Amino acid sequence: MPSKNQLRTALRGSLNHILRGFLLCLVLSGLGACATPQVAKPVSASWEYKIEHISDSGFEDRMNVLGKQGWEMVTARRSDDNLSSPIGYEVIFKRPAQ
């Protein structure tokens, strides 16, 4: 069994190692090394929006067409437009104002 002095020395060494790592991270975080990188988002002065009802059968094709036109889906929910339309999705799109 280790003596009290050996335990103190081992504990002191472990604590010093942890403390040095913490201090190093604090110093480097000032330089951005330990910080989470920030991703710049494009800034647009204004947006235009579009709401569409898209049926299940044409969903993928319509999404591809709108994507090529620069529309980005914001949200979608399951819905039916009215009693005569097939069940599908109500989709909200946005793109930078043109």
Predicted confidence (pLDDT) per residue in 34-90, tens digit: 555 566 666 657 999 999 999 888 899 999 999 999 999 999 998 865 666 678 899
pLDDT in tens, 26-47: 556 665 555 555 666 666 579 9
Annotate 70-97 with b (16+ C-beta within 10 A) or e (fewer): ebeeeebeeeeeeeeeeebbebebbbee
Domain total in the chain:
2
Same domain flag for 33 and 16: yes
Q: What is residue 61's predicted lDDT score, i.e. its pLDDT?
A: 95
Same domain flag for 84 and 51: yes
28: domain range? 1-39
Same domain flag for 27 and 52: no
Q: What is residue 52's predicted lDDT score, i.e. its pLDDT?
A: 93
Same domain flag for 55 and 91: yes
Reported pTM: 0.51
